[in-house]
Structure 1
């Protein structure tokens, strides 16, 4: 298999201490996860320690999440270096001390040092899946580790969906592929002969006559070919997504009401989830939940993923979520939010579920989102933007001035210049109080300064100073405080 041959070449290079980076891309269902599982088995058989972390669409508010999962970094880790990184990250989040982004860079440096130390012990294969959903800190860490890989016994693998990368992810992809140690591995649709061969192998002699005429409808996508065979060839052109839904329904109905409810809550927790946390959410003994999850594994809906479980494919998880009425889904998110709060989870995770389970105008959810946004504003301003945007969608009226200002500074910090200027100018049209207007002009001044519009920046800063004085604030101290927000 051509793909595994490329993986083996990267493993050989990494084992020799030359380092390697592998970038795997392809559409949903094309076989990225399957290839990575096979690659992990090859690596493990070759004496590599394998570490896997995955970004998830619903947990982008967790800075460094895939790296923490991959390297099993927690405050209770037995390894002193792992514990120190976890403690540093938590302290940075709680204190939000220093200049904007400085805490992020300290954590990244510690993670690179940790990878170097681990690679000195045994060769390492580190997999970061679904880069299209990764937070900025995860992307920056991948770049830093890749740049250090040339002299390490490390194979860094990142995967992403074709066409789904945000701007920072596209930059990372370009930078990675510019490295001498990098290999690009795009997964294309199967050609006609390969698709027919896979379908025939899966169908067997008895089912092949029914499946054969419909293979073209799968358009070379291995997962859809598998579903077509599972449906006995009954799906026509354009109906394979419906076949997927029917396939998931059939397999979940086999689990009974208890199993369906278990998987629905798991789907809302994420593509990858902790069985223990799921048991907490359901309010049931872990052994009972484990029984339902084992049946789901037997139905090929779930797979093992380190200490956690994961849906076999995100299309399966999406289908389970789509089956839920909006009111039911909101109630389930609220239950998850309360459970996370009780178990001491991070504020953004609590806030996200609370917001998804809250009705419009829910002040408690709005306050949770605001507090979580402030907690992360220096370490991960992109998280702050996401949380405050969610807050805005819940608000009955315009965001309070302080929350609006926090969103402006976060937009500026993440380089979203156009959105920041548009929002700032719209706020000034409402003729806010002098103190608020001063902060908005100061933010615009920094934006114009960064874009080399020095005359415009000077005008904005002069206006901010005048308005700050009018509001009874000391201009210099005011601007320093505003710039550090």
Structure 2
């Protein structure tokens, strides 16, 4: 049989014509439309995923794409962003320079910040050429790369960026997670690769051995099961055999294991050590595991390369296919594998390699009681905690499993495990781990430390009464160090901040702050200031709350959002505006969402309803991304009320439903009161004042502190509901509440103005309502002023003072309309028409739902900037908002305009008439 020895490079493409055409269609679409796309090639090992990917890359390059191609590795997945780095740093030219990537990687503790900067860099490249980013074997991607891959395709959907991933079929695996995150936002396809047909395998044989392939060879290839890689390995073996006679190949060495058995023992041993180290490994590392000088193993390396088992890229050795590595690895007895992994970890550490290189081996080979393994796992968990807390939790949990029985090391690891699991949002695991450690009867000093560590867990779980009970018990038994006692005291004050006796809570907080200062413990200091800030807010003492949060942010800038919100409670929007850019520069992983909460409160206060709604929507998305849903219920409550002001009843009901769902997950008093108040607003909108008043009573029963937290700006609405239901007693109580709040904040125009408004409503007193309007003229909150003018207009109208009524109602209508509260503006318009003086109608009351006219003012600004060529970042800088908020606006713009790319947006804007 003539063996032409033709190239095998196309072997994986035989029988893949349909799949290749599907990829070609997507490549063409991305280049033509200027919008993004994503393809996932799936199949078993050796089925041809990498070969198909290579052909897609070749075609994309021919179509003018700038390409980044990388590969994830099974044993090298601990280093954050290492997998995606292989895609971004390879290419001609690379998508990112090494310097740029290094600068970004230094900020990897800010996960959301990092993804946004990566998006900006890729977006900039896509502005001049379409971009293809490929990652082979995505199932082994590191946690941060997986996180980025779940965000970036959607973030870059309006730019010509195509993503092609390959992976094994794993339900709910990394590949499916990435695909699910992108589905619905950009074109996505899944390209499943099954076994090749018999005809395709025959063509593959023809490619390799020539066209006169004997029948027995074709029969032999049936054993490959349609797997092209296995078939190629069989054929490669046949090319070295004399096939002039039709001897059945029972004696013939075929397949991967057959090829391995033909190697010299030294070479096989060398390959086995390499297989333990991973698909890519260092020659010196493998030689060290063989316990041989590197020079003595050069013949083994040469034989492995000649046999087509290894490639040498000049820096590392690489198994030509992972099936080859797996075949070598599978032939090592399981007990020997564990021992070799332990040895590999020890040698890597001894050679000065970072813990991340040794950890994969520790996870496979460590035994209980291995203190060196415990130490390395703890170090690795600390390293990755800021950016991949879930991975850190897995590592520290493994370290806790390995730590020897009750003793100092186990308790120390346990404390770290509690903190790490809580940071990862795995609170029940943290509480369970802590209680198991406490059941071991640790020394009193350790008992206090463990209870202090569990304090954050209990607070996050809203178990404030349990937090109070545990901290008091730990303080009562004594034995804790001054630092731990200060933390326990601060945690107790934090728990008391949710109780009814705020005087006792304040005394506890001030005592905790003194203890923290005396002990010099930073963590206790932060906890004490946090508790005192919460207590001041709950007592309605806004100036004191600001002082506490300003002191807190001076210690740690990640608390700047709390300081910003405290300024807003004092109507100090100028200071808030100065702090927002500073906070944006310093916000960390879990604080980006909190910063958006502060920005949303700022925009809401200034009557920028569009920006506020986009900010709260973005906040919820970011909280979902990091798995820390802190303000989602409150955000939905505000968005629902805003939707009612704008006249979007359907959106308002959707937000109410989402708020109720969030309340079911986090049924704390604050969330409960917020949702009950929202239900009151909806009941009033539907004409059920009885239900509305019932819900207001429930808010009042949630605790006095909720009166300050929830009703400080909305008490006028609650008073009006009560009066419409004829419940004067409740209205009086609410007005007194507003007056008490004003007494606590006499220099805050909104507080004093709303108090006068509430009392004026109860008394139906035009003079008091006029006074409220005068007080609120100094307030920066246009919606509060508009509501006071509307109340004044109605009272004047009822008193027959038509001219004064019309002036007040017209003022309210204009303020509501300017803020985008079109339903509220329309209500004032109807009141004016009822008074016989309709005047001009409020602009924008009947906005369409599709087309350019459906865009809000903020969306139109974003659309025009993007059409001019701005990136999200530069548009955000121009509008003084977050790039995340620009992305939210842009998503809405593309949906309303039924377009999918920036190119289409630019063309549409150019076609608009010039005004």
TM-score (norm 1): 0.77
Structure-2 change in CA distance of 1:149 and 1:379 (3 Å): closer
Q: Which runs of 5 or more residues in structure 2 are unaligned? A: 1-16, 239-246, 495-522, 528-557, 559-589, 591-915
Match runs of 1:34-45 below 5 Å? 34-45=51-62
**What is the Cα-based RMSD across aligned positions, in Å?**
4.3
Question: Is the contact between residue 411 and residue 417 of structure 1 (CA under 8 Å) also seen in structure 2?
Answer: yes
In the alignment, the residues of structure 2 paired with residue 50 and residue 307 of structure 1 have an alpha-carbon distance, to the nearest angstrom, of 23
Aligned equivalent of 2:448, options 435, 449, 452: 435
Equivalent in the alignment of 1:247? 258
Quote the offset at 1:267 in angstroms. 2.2
Question: Is the contact between residue 333 and residue 354 of structure 1 (CA under 8 Å) also seen in structure 2?
Answer: yes
Quote the offset at 1:141 in angstroms. 0.9
Aligned pair 1:138/2:154, yes or no?
no
Match runs of 1:455-474 below 5 Å? 457-470=463-476, 471=480, 472-474=485-487
In the alignment, the residues of structure 2 paired with residue 291 and residue 9 of structure 1 have an alpha-carbon distance, to the nearest angstrom, of 48
In the alignment, the residues of structure 2 paired with residue 396 and residue 431 of structure 1 have an alpha-carbon distance, to the nearest angstrom, of 15
Equivalent in the alignment of 1:59? 76
Give CA-to-partner distance per residue, 1:5-29, whole Å, 9 cap, x none.
Answer: 2222233234343232211111222
Equivalent in the alignment of 1:2? 18
In the alignment, the residues of structure 2 paired with residue 80 and residue 343 of structure 1 have an alpha-carbon distance, to the nearest angstrom, of 31
Aligned equivalent of 1:403, options 401, 405, 413: 413
Give CA-to-partner distance per residue, 1:79-137, whole Å, 9 cap, x none.
Answer: 99642542453465xxxxxxxxx622222222222222333454432112222222321
Q: For 2:46, what is the secondary structure of its paired residue?
A: coil
Give CA-to-partner distance per residue, 1:184-231, whole Å, 9 cap, x none.
Answer: 212223345444554565565676422444555444332333345557
In the alignment, the residues of structure 1 paired with residue 131 and residue 153 of structure 2 have an alpha-carbon distance, to the nearest angstrom, of 13
Question: Is the contact between residue 355 and residue 391 of structure 1 (CA under 8 Å) also seen in structure 2?
Answer: no
Question: Is the contact between residue 190 and residue 222 of structure 1 (CA under 8 Å) also seen in structure 2?
Answer: yes
In the alignment, the residues of structure 1 paired with residue 460 and residue 325 of structure 2 have an alpha-carbon distance, to the nearest angstrom, of 41
Equivalent in the alignment of 2:354? 346
Structure-2 change in CA distance of 1:35 and 1:439 (3 Å): farther
Equivalent in the alignment of 2:186? 180
Question: Is the contact between residue 70 and residue 84 of structure 2 (CA under 8 Å) also seen in structure 1?
Answer: yes
Question: Is the contact between residue 468 and residue 478 of structure 1 (CA under 8 Å) also seen in structure 2?
Answer: no
Question: Is the contact between residue 431 and residue 454 of structure 2 (CA under 8 Å) also seen in structure 1?
Answer: no
Question: Is the contact between residue 437 and residue 467 of structure 1 (CA under 8 Å) also seen in structure 2?
Answer: no
Count of residues paired in the alignment: 457
Question: Is the contact between residue 143 and residue 172 of structure 1 (CA under 8 Å) also seen in structure 2?
Answer: yes
Quote the offset at 1:427 in angstroms. 3.7
Aligned pair 1:15/2:25, yes or no?
no
Aligned equivalent of 2:230, options 224, 234, 240: 224
Aligned pair 1:475/2:488, yes or no?
yes
Q: For 2:461, what is the secondary structure of its paired residue?
A: helix
Quote the offset at 1:430 in angstroms. 3.7
Equivalent in the alignment of 2:114? 107
In the alignment, the residues of structure 1 paired with residue 170 and residue 77 of structure 2 have an alpha-carbon distance, to the nearest angstrom, of 18
Structure-2 change in CA distance of 1:430 and 1:285 (3 Å): closer
In the alignment, the residues of structure 2 paired with residue 109 and residue 153 of structure 1 have an alpha-carbon distance, to the nearest angstrom, of 17
More deviation, 191-200/378-387: 191-200
Quote the offset at 1:412 in angstroms. 4.0
Quote the offset at 1:138 in angstroms. 0.8
In the alignment, the residues of structure 2 paired with residue 67 and residue 341 of structure 1 have an alpha-carbon distance, to the nearest angstrom, of 25
**Which is greater in Rg?**
2
The structure with higher relative contact order (CA 8 Å, sep 6+) is 1
Equivalent in the alignment of 1:313? 321
Aligned pair 1:50/2:67, yes or no?
yes
Question: Is the contact between residue 39 and residue 190 of structure 2 (CA under 8 Å) also seen in structure 1?
Answer: yes
Structure-2 change in CA distance of 1:438 and 1:393 (3 Å): closer
Give CA-to-partner distance per residue, 1:12-69, whole Å, 9 cap, x none.
Answer: 2343432322111112222112211222233334443432222222222121111122
Question: Is the contact between residue 38 and residue 186 of structure 2 (CA under 8 Å) also seen in structure 1?
Answer: no
More strand by share: 1
Structure-2 change in CA distance of 1:58 and 1:78 (3 Å): closer
In the alignment, the residues of structure 1 paired with residue 189 and residue 95 of structure 2 have an alpha-carbon distance, to the nearest angstrom, of 32
In the alignment, the residues of structure 2 paired with residue 308 and residue 419 of structure 1 have an alpha-carbon distance, to the nearest angstrom, of 40
Q: For 2:110, what is the secondary structure of its paired residue?
A: helix
Aligned equivalent of 2:177, options 168, 171, 175: 171
